[in-house]
């Protein structure tokens, strides 16, 4: 084994371990891995930059922009309400909604689709007494399945296609995935619709937990006569430094003051609302501050206190930071009053909690909250206010143009890259979007991960690592024929995707799969397709695919919920994928 191969294998093993252990954000780990390969001369500077020049990386970013622009039109929301108005039961709703999500996920990137539909699905369940845990895993799995229908359904397909082209292969057209993706999606949708209600748990909604046990999260005190706090500012009264508690709002009659500034004065009769560790309540009340507990009452109604649910986004800039270090109130005009992780309340001071991807946040929002919402940081589960002043005519123009772009690309009349570029240009021309909206919709972390993934793939190919691993595997499996090799590629990719990101799994296995095919004297296309599909089918854990992580906290799920419901689906996808590829490419 040569030195570049040793370095490459060591770097990849370290990357997989770091991703699994979540030592840092995935984007940082991928950049570090690519940087290590660069400084050890495994790859050149040109190799590193090739990932950024790859057309498929740009297409991923453009698709996120397209999804964001279409969501702004709110025509989809109108169609949802009209289409599902008669779906009054769980079976009827999932029977309509799950196929709908799967279908559109084939033509719009599935990650923003899940982000856009979580509030609607969540609200439908709340209105009909259906636990979110019965609905959100089906939403994620339907989007994953639908993403296999076309080349553009998921970023994994695009990254694999871009890497295959870099290796000299022709690449796939828009509908080359459909012959496998369509039967997969049909069978998967039927499984979700008919077994979802029976196999998925019915867990308590996180917001219901707050309402049923308000003092577990929110502590309300009243400033009594003679209190030392009267006419002092919050800072001078040291209310910002209380042990285990944090002042998030002041209720003064019908007026709401929140988030509370350090310069805010305190008056007699003010209701001070704290969040934090309830074990500190006795010390607070028994102190000489002159605070007392009011009569036990429900959390104030919506017109008095606006509570908003949100989930920390995949690759969020909030992840890995202590709450006190995020400047959340300054950035979003909101205060975090409760945090749930895997459906359980975290102990200790909220300010000391380190946020993680998928954390469920309960926020108290100020008047400027909606204008400051950033979906790269968190996704809303309940809308603060409705977006107004939407130009319906422009909305129709944008929506129809987007559909025409995808259709023309499917027919081969225009490349997807050019079509998306023209679509975004039109959006600017008719002033439907602007630079600020564009910046919010672009996930630079995803783009960097895609580019660095291609770079690591180049390193495996250039150093001969992929060929070396393929030769070892081929020696063990070559006597069993191309079908066994295909099964081996599938299982290796699918296993990796449950422990690291789907893009990482595809990037690491693809060079090996291509080398295996060449050693066996078989065209690499079926193996490339197998890698792309197997990397997307993350149904056993919440960490393998970003849409699973997005619904993890809001659904109040345990890790095992994904495994129990996803295992039969994993087996079905494995069988259908192998059979379809074998029949399509004649691997007998």
Average pLDDT over residues 533-541: 87
Please check whether residue 397 lies inside any domain of the structure: no
Among the three residues 353, 380, 407, which one is the final residue of a domain in this structure?
A: 380
On whether both 369 and 333 belong to a single domain, the answer is yes
Residue of 261 and 526 predicted with greater confidence? 526
Residue 223 in this model has a pLDDT that exceeds 70: yes
Q: Are residues 163 and 284 in the same domain?
A: no
pLDDT of residue 441: 65
Share of the chain above pLDDT 70, in %: 75
Tokens 């949100």 appear where?
Answer: 310
Confidence of residue 581 (pLDDT cuts 50, 70, 90): very high
Range in 122-126, 190-194, 322-326 the model is least confident about = 122-126
Residues 148 and 249 placed together within one structural domain of the fold: no
101/136 Cα distance (integer angstroms):
12
In a shared domain, residues 68 and 165: yes
Q: What residue numbers bound the domain in which 530 lies?
A: 3-205+442-585
pLDDT level of residue 215 (50, 70, 90 thresholds): very low
Query: In 51-177, where does DSSP find H-type helix?
Result: 55-73, 75-83, 90-105, 110-127, 136-146, 155-166
What local confidence, expressed as pLDDT, does residue 182 receive? 94
pLDDT value at residue 210: 44
pLDDT of 193 over the 80 cut: yes
For residue 270, give the CATH number of its domain.
Answer: 3.30.70.1450
Of 255, 289, 323, at which residue does a domain stop?
A: 289
Q: What is the pLDDT of residue 473?
A: 73
- Tokens at 513, concatenated: 């799969």
Are residues 50 and 198 located together in one domain of the fold?
yes
pLDDT at 192 over 70: yes
Can you give the pLDDT at residue 211?
A: 43
Q: Do 74 and 172 belong to one domain? A: yes
Q: What are the structure tokens assigned to 126, written together?
A: 């709340």
Residue 386 in domain: no
Q: If you average pLDDT over every residue of the chain, what do you get?
A: 76
Does 171 map to a domain?
yes
Give the pLDDT band (50/70/90) at residue 565: very high
The residue-averaged pLDDT of 185-196 equals 93
What is the structure's pLDDT at 385? Answer: 36
Indicate if the pLDDT at residue 189 is higher than 90: yes
Please check whether residues 285 and 311 belong to one and the same domain. no
Q: Which helix or strand (DSSP H or E) is residue 372 part of?
A: helix 369-372
Q: At what angle do helices 444-462 and 26-39 cross, to 10 degrees?
A: 30
Tell if the pTM clears 0.75, that is, is over it: no
pLDDT exceeds cutoff 70 at 348: no
Beta strands 378-380 and 360-365, pairing class:
unpaired
Number of domains in the chain: 3
Checking if the pLDDT of 214 tops 50, the result is: no
Same domain, yes or no: 7 and 46: yes
Pair (240, 318) in one structural domain:
no
Q: pLDDT at position 186, please?
A: 95
Domain final residue pick, 380, 397, 429: 380
Q: For residue 328, give the nearest of 302, 300, 305, 359 by alpha carbon.
A: 359
* pLDDT of amino acid 302: 33
Q: How far apart (Å, rounded) are the C-alpha atoms in residues 131 and 206?
A: 10
Q: Are 60 and 446 in contact (CB under 8 A)?
A: yes
H or E stretch including 220? Answer: strand 218-223
232, part of any domain: yes
Tell whether 144 and 9 lie within a shared domain.
Answer: yes
Q: Mind listing the pLDDT tens digit for each residue in 385-431?
A: 333 345 567 667 777 787 787 777 766 677 777 888 888 888 888 77
> What's the token pair of residue 223?
């400033």
Does residue 432 form part of some domain? Answer: no
Confidence (pLDDT) at 305: 44
In a domain, 406, yes or no: no
Model confidence at 577, in pLDDT bands (50, 70, 90)? very high
Using pLDDT thresholds of 50, 70 and 90, give the confidence band for residue 300: very low
Same domain? 230 vs 349: no
Tell me whether residue 219 is in a domain.
no
Tens digit of each residue's pLDDT (9 = 90 or more) over 51-83: 777 776 777 677 667 766 766 665 565 666 666
Asked if residue 354 and residue 234 are part of one domain, the reply reads: no
Task: Please answer whether residues 511 and 460 qualify as being in contact, where contact means their C-beta atoms are separated by less than 8 angstroms.
Answer: yes
Per the domain annotation, does 230 fall within a domain?
yes
The alpha carbon dihedral of 542, 546, 552, 557 has a sign of: negative
Query: Residue ranges of the alpha helices (H) in 200-271?
Result: 206-212
The confidence score (pLDDT) of residue 388 equals 39
pLDDT, one tens digit per residue, over 492-504 is 888 877 765 677 7
């Amino acid at each position: 084994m040569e030195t570049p191969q040793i370095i490459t294998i060591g770097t990849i093993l370290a990357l997989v371990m770091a991703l699994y252990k979540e030592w840092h954000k995935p984007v940082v780990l991928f950049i570090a891995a690519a940087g290590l390969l660069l400084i050890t001369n495994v790859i050149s500077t040109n190799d590193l930059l090739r990932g950024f020049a790859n057309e498929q990386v740009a297409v991923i970013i453009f698709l996120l922009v397209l999804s964001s622009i279409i969501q702004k039109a709110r025509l989809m929301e109108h169609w949802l309400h009209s289409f599902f108005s008669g779906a009054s039961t769980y079976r009827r709703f999932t029977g309509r909604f799950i196929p709908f999500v799967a279908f559109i996920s084939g033509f719009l990137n599935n990650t923003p689709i899940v982000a856009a539909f979580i509030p609607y699905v969540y609200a439908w369940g709340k209105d009909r007494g259906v636990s979110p845990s019965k609905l959100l895993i089906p939403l994620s799995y339907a989007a994953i399945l639908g993403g296999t229908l076309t080349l553009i359904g998921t970023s994994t397909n695009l990254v694999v296609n871009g890497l295959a082209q870099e290796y000299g292969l022709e690449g796939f057209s828009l509908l080359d995935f459909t012959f496998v993706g369509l039967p997969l999606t049909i069978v998967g949708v039927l499984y979700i619709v008919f077994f979802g209600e029976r196999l998925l748990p019915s867990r308590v909604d996180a917001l219901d937990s707050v309402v049923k046990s308000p003092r577990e999260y929110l502590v309300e005190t009243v400033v009594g006569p003679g209190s030392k706090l009267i006419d002092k500012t919050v800072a001078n009264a040291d209310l910002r430094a209380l042990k285990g508690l944090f002042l998030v709002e002041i209720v003064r009659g019908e007026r709401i003051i929140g988030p509370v500034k350090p310069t805010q004065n305190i008056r007699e009769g003010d209701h001070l609302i704290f969040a934090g560790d309830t074990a500190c309540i006795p010390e607070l009340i028994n102190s000489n501050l002159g605070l007392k507990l009011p009569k036990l009452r429900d959390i104030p109604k919506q017109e008095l206190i606006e509570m908003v649910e949100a989930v920390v986004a995949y690759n969020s800039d909030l992840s890995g930071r202590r709450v006190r270090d995020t400047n959340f109130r300054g950035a979003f005009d909101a205060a975090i009053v409760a945090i749930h992780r895997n459906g359980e309340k975290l102990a200790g001071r909220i300010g000391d909690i380190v946020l993680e991807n998928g954390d469920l946040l309960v926020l108290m929002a100020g008047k400027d909250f909606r204008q400051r919402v950033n979906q790269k940081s968190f996704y809303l589960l309940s809308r603060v206010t409705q977006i107004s002043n939407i130009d319906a005519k422009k909305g129709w123009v944008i929506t129809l143009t987007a559909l025409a772009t995808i259709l023309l690309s499917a027919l081969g009349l225009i490349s997807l890259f050019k079509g998306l570029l023209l679509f975004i240009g039109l959006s600017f021309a008719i002033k439907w979007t602007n630079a600020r909206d564009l910046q919010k919709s672009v996930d630079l972390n995803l783009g960097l991960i895609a580019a660095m993934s291609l770079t690591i793939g180049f390193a495996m190919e250039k150093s001969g690592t992929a060929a070396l691993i393929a030769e070892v595997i081929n020696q063990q499996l070559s006597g069993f024929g191309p079908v066994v090799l295909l099964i081996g590629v599938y299982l290796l990719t699918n296993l990796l995707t449950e422990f690291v990101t789907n893009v990482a799994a595809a990037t690491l296995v693809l060079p090996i799969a291509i080398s295996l095919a060449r050693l066996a004297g078989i065209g690499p296309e079926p193996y490339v397709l197998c890698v792309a599909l197997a990397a997307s089918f993350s149904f056993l854990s919440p960490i393998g695919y970003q849409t699973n992580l997005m619904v993890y906290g809001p659904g109040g799920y345990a890790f095992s919920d994904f495994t129990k419901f996803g295992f039969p689906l994993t087996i079905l996808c494995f069988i259908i994928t192998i059979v379809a590829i074998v029949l399509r490419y004649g691997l007998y």
